[in-house]
Structure 1
Amino acid sequence: MTDSNKPSLEVCLSPALLHLFDVKNSIVVIIDVLRATSTICTALYNGASRVIPVASVEECVNIGRAISGITAGERDGRIAEGLAYGNSPFEYPREFVENKTLVLTTTNGTKLLHMAKDAIQIITGSFPNISAVCDYLVAQNQNVILGCAAWKDRVNMEDTLFAGAVVSRIKEHFDVNCDSAIAAETLYHSAKHDIYTFMKQASHYKRLAQYGLEKDIHYCLTPDGANVLPLFRDGELIAG
């Protein structure tokens, strides 16, 4: 806590910077807008019993086999070799995912999740569940780190935009003494009237668009399509 008696709100723009933050005394929000955290909230919203995030494809296959789960994930935007499903939220409608376990591995998001394991609480956030995230953070009245999964440790546009959107919504409840939080909010205000068009200049937009995934991108940038709160407990994400 600072002298203002409000908890702190900070933005970590890359996993490579996370060691500079006080993870142990904070709630950490894992942000991987395109597409891991958008897919996680969508699967839970559509009735998945849990999502188990894992680092490697091999681990994903082994756990999935052991528990008869859905093995899913991507590397560099494509379905990872050896896995049955990818990282598109549209692959997980209720009739497919309800009451099932999704075992998920991704290029960036699952790595950051495991890096933040010492936090007070870990949740995942994306535009489809932004209201649930913001309501939870305000209610908890704890220090918050908005952790961007980025792209192979390089700062990316979409995660920064989401962090900025959260800062914009909840900053009055927090002490914001963090340049990256201010920068993220400034970027969000530049983009908020048409985030999808703004994102067309981003590297990850171009990466996914070449695979014909514009529909995914649009969904992942749209607020409250899957407004559930994924909580990380005992190695798995459940709907809070």
Structure 2
Amino acid sequence: MQKPVLHTLLSPRLLDLYDVDNSIVVIIDVFRATSTIATALYNGAEKVVPVAGVEDCIATGKKLNAITAGERDGKIIPGLQHGNSPAEYPREFIEGKTLVLTTTNGTKLLHMALDKNASEVITGSFPNLSAVCEHLIASKKNVILGCSAWKDRFNLEDTLFAGAVISRVKEHFAIHCDSSLMAEDMYNLHRHDMYGFIRKLTHWHRLSAFGLEKDLEYCVTPDVANVLSLYKDGALVVA
């Protein structure tokens, strides 16, 4: 039986090059949107509604009587209640509630994938690594690991997560894709010192200036919020 195909998308700008409508698209925004989504859902959020813009976020929050959250360039947006830190969403706060979220990069790529009729959209980061891998193996569909990047520019943390996925699922997929090979090699080089390596990254320097070091270490810790986050009927829910 022919294996499904796996590709790694290093920037949203490259999405047009891929067969999206025949693939599961994994939205990856390690620092911090997809880590926060997994954490909120793991801690009992009813759903997370990803929206592209700030005005959408405010309006949707009012309509759904939901918590509104978002950041631009690592800072909470004026007019929204919360930021994009996983630490802001413990169970005692988020359980049973709806979170409406807008972010710099991740929600943008998610909506791009939906607009291109992805067969399924899920979100992934190290906190839900195993759930993502198990789902991709079981689904037996083509996969695009979609790195949200930073304002369309390549970033390493999303690529490292793609590599972590590939290292676990590669026996089940046909992978003839240099970006996937590079992602896996990068991950294997640094997997045993992730906390040390992420301190070199441009996004670390951008966000650690706001005192977010613990946040960023959490975002590269496997399976601390191990639920599958699936886009369904306008929101991300636990599959």
Superposition TM-score, scaled by structure 1 size: 0.98
Match of residue 9 from structure 2: 12
Which SS does the other structure have where 2:192 is aligned? coil
Alignment of 1:83-162 (within 5 A): 83-117=80-114, 118-162=117-161
Instruction: Measure, in 2, the Cα distance between the counterparts of 1:11 and 1:234.
Output: 26
> Which consecutive aligned stretches of 4+ in structure 1 deviate over 2 angstroms post-superposition?
none
Alignment of 1:168-183 (within 5 A): 168-183=167-182
Correspondence for 1:34 among 28, 31, 34: 31
Give per-residue Cα distances to partners, 1:52-107, cap 9 Å, x unaligned: 00001111001101111000010001111111100000000111101100000000
Alignment of 1:65-76 (within 5 A): 65-76=62-73
Percent identity for Structure 1 against Structure 2: 64
Instruction: Measure, in 2, the Cα distance between the counterparts of 1:164 and 1:157.
Output: 10
Give per-residue Cα distances to partners, 1:120-159, cap 9 Å, x unaligned: 1000000000000000000000000000000000000100
Instruction: Measure, in 1, the Cα distance between the counterparts of 2:145 and 2:220.
Output: 17
Instruction: Measure, in 2, the Cα distance between the counterparts of 1:171 and 1:107.
Output: 30
Instruction: Measure, in 1, the Cα distance between the counterparts of 2:17 and 2:195.
Output: 31
Correspondence for 1:45 among 42, 45, 60: 42
RMSD: 0.7
Instruction: Measure, in 2, the Cα distance between the counterparts of 1:181 and 1:235.
Output: 29
Give per-residue Cα distances to partners, 1:2-41, cap 9 Å, x unaligned: xx70000110000001110100000000000000000000
Structure 1 residue ranges without an equivalent (≥5): none
Instruction: Measure, in 2, the Cα distance between the counterparts of 1:108 and 1:235.
Output: 18
Which SS does the other structure have where 1:200 is aligned? helix
Superposition TM-score, scaled by structure 2 size: 0.98
C-alpha displacement of 1:190? 1.1
Q: Which amino acid aligns with 1:213?
A: L
Which SS does the other structure have where 1:146 is aligned? strand
